[in-house]
Amino acid sequence: MKFEQLPNELIFDVFEYLNAIHIFRAFYGLNSRFNKLLNISFKFYHLDFRSVSKYTFTNVCQQHLPLIIDKVVTFYLADDDETPNLPEIFLSYNFTLDKFIHLKSLSLQSIRSFDILNKIILQCHHLSYLTHFKLIQCLFNNEENNLINNIWNLPKLIYCHIDDLMSKGICFSKLSIISSSIKYLSIKNITCDFRYLSHIFEQTPCLQQLCTTIICTEKNEKFQTTVPLLTNLNLSFNGPIAMMMNLFQSMFNLHYLTLSTSYLLLNGNEWKKILIDFLPNLKIFRLKMDFHFRESNNIEDKINELLQTFQTDFWIKYHQWFVRCDWNPSNAFSHAILYTLPYAFNDFHFINESYSKSTCPNEEDYWLYNQVQILQHENSISNNFEYFPIQFPNISHLEIILPFNEKFLSNIPSLNHLISLDVTLLPGDSVYNQLQLLLNRAPHLHLLRFSHVSDLEIILFKIHNRSIRRLDFFTKESMLYSWYFNKEQCIALANSSLGRQCQTLVIDIKHRTNVNDLINNMTNLQSLIFQCKDDKWNPKISSSTNDELIQWLHEYLPSTCLISRNTQQISIIQVWIR
């Protein structure tokens, strides 16, 4: 049976798994039946503008969105390297969020303008179905503190996720709006202290689940708010033991605790006392304890003594909470990490020389680390490899230094889920062969980032992978090492396999004319982010009206290109091409 012969109900079931952009690209214009289904009958669109081309974005906004705006249930807006200034352009088309009357979920990412961000949030205050809101990696300057209040004022909001928000002036202690609807709150990669956290709980009285990071800088700080409804806590904690116990004392109804600690060492007996005294209703306990021994001698004996305290009836018989401890005997700081099994965290730092011991009755148990999505691999100084059968089957992001010991490949049996690869290339005969080996095993890789390259060898442009759509050659070290692409290297990159398929390129170039070399030769390039060595911009004497490089680009690039200077990192130029 052909797809178009399926009944409408089955076609709608398929559509609900797809981005609206892909639906219109694949089915609009096939025949009158599909046009009617798309414009009139289908009621649940998921609209995601991430990684979209400028042409497709314009087409969707002008041709399709006016007809389906009241049927969009999830909406994702991003102002990142792949879609620079997209939210501003979206609003310039006179769209307002209050027209998305059936919107249930809104995600805003990498928006650098407070005015745009706040305008969008205010337009959502009359949306009666909006229950999910995400604010991710937004960076802006704001002396006011009304942004958080405007989020808390969303009337039906239940799930609120704020991740890696960097803003001068935003302060949870200024939160004055009480939200009785928010039940699930995630404040990731944002540092809170007890003062902020207490105020969040006071202004969010129905909170049941919280994910946050706490760094305690004042030793005598007290947490004095009781949170009886909180049952699930995911906490990254850096502070004294006494302050952690003070926090848990207010969370007596906690059922699920996922806890990551830094610079804190407690043995099994001490953890047992904390859990019994302060968290009597706890059912699930997931722990990752990152610590250092005070003395560097007899580390393995100290590990054995520590593990023995986690082998009592409380841990093994009553709860079956097993732990594993990994350590590197060559580490000068006697660093180790102890965690419960199965491993419950999404990131892992893998070191070649690490040793491992656990309290499992069978040492072959719990070697499958399904939760890990971000893996950082580190070669030890000696490049020795102490093998243990840990498996990472679901890696989406890998950071690795090449060359590496290829025994590590046995720990990553599949890279089918890998979408971003961050490599540091050091001198070595096997470096590019190893890079190609990794690329061959990653059929869905989207982003390849070079954090450091010892030399821009021509063989670099001969590596290949059909799925890669973004290349990052832009590094924080580039200004220091003067690592800029010249004309010959730009043309070699543009004519390479990766260059021909690249849609987003982040790069340092020696001369502004290299922009033309890249845009004219990379026919699939949609977005170009670059620093230019001959950029004469000076923040002390330059302004947006006399930006010499921007004016030059407007003169010599196609008029359809949208060109801007990054407002937070002024040396970076953004061009949305096609």
Structural domain for 578, as ranges: 470-578
**pLDDT tens across 152-177, in order?**
999 999 999 998 776 554 567 778 99
Percent of the chain with pLDDT over 70: 94
Q: Looking at residue 479, what is its pLDDT?
A: 46
- Inter-CA distances, 203 with 149, 181, 182, 198, Å: 10, 11, 10, 9
Q: Burial letters for 263-275: b for 16+ Cβ neighbours within 10 Å, e otherwise?
A: eebbebeebbeeb
**pLDDT tens across 527-539, in order?**
999 999 999 887 7
Quick one: average pLDDT of 29-35? 91
Residue 452 domain-assigned? no
Q: Is the pLDDT of residue 201 over 60?
A: yes
Under 8 Å CB-to-CB from 541, ≥6 apart: which residues? none
Quick one: average pLDDT of 85-111? 97
Residue 563 domain-assigned? yes
Q: Which long-range contacts (CB under 8 A, 24 or more apart) does 417-421 make?
A: 417/373, 417/393, 417/444, 418/442, 418/444, 418/445, 419/444, 419/445, 419/446, 419/447, 420/396, 420/445, 420/446, 420/447, 420/448, 420/449, 421/397, 421/445, 421/447, 421/448, 421/449
- ∠ CA(191), CA(199), CA(264), 5° rounding? 40
Q: Looking at 283-409, list the stretches that DSSP marks H as alpha helix, in order from N- to C-terminal side.
A: 299-308, 313
Q: Looking at residue 476, what is its pLDDT?
A: 47
Nearest alpha-carbon partner for 398 in 368, 370, 378, 420:
420
Residue 495 domain-assigned? yes
Residue 51 domain-assigned? no
Residue 551 domain-assigned? yes
How many structural domains compose the chain?
A: 1
Q: Looking at residue 477, what is its pLDDT?
A: 46
**pLDDT tens across 321-366, in order?**
999 999 987 765 678 999 999 999 999 999 877 889 999 998 888 9
Quick one: average pLDDT of 243-267? 95
Residue 531 domain-assigned? yes
DSSP string covering 420-462: EEEEEE-S-TTHHHHHHHHHHT-TT--EEEEEEES---GGGGG
Name the DSSP class of 98: G
Residue 478: which H helix or E strand, with range?
helix 478-481
**pLDDT tens across 524-577, in order?**
999 999 999 999 887 766 666 788 999 999 999 999 999 999 888 889 999 999
**pLDDT tens across 476-504, in order?**
444 445 578 999 999 999 999 999 999 99
Q: Looking at residue 480, what is its pLDDT?
A: 46
DSSP string covering 504-548: EEEEEESSTHHHHHHHHH-TT--EEEEEETT----TTT--GGG-H
- Could you tell me the pLDDT band of residue 68, with boundaries at 50, 70 and 90? very high
- DSSP reduced 3-state for 326: strand
Q: Is the pLDDT of residue 468 over 80?
A: yes
Q: Quick one: CA torsion of 203, 206, 209, 211, rounded to 10 degrees? A: -10
**pLDDT tens across 101-117, in order?**
999 999 999 998 889 99
Q: Looking at residue 456, what is its pLDDT?
A: 72
- Inter-CA distances, 535 with 505, 513, 557, Å: 18, 12, 16
- Inter-CA distances, 22 with 48, 82, 174, 427, 524, Å: 10, 17, 42, 43, 18
Give this prediction's pTM.
0.92
Residue 279 domain-assigned? no
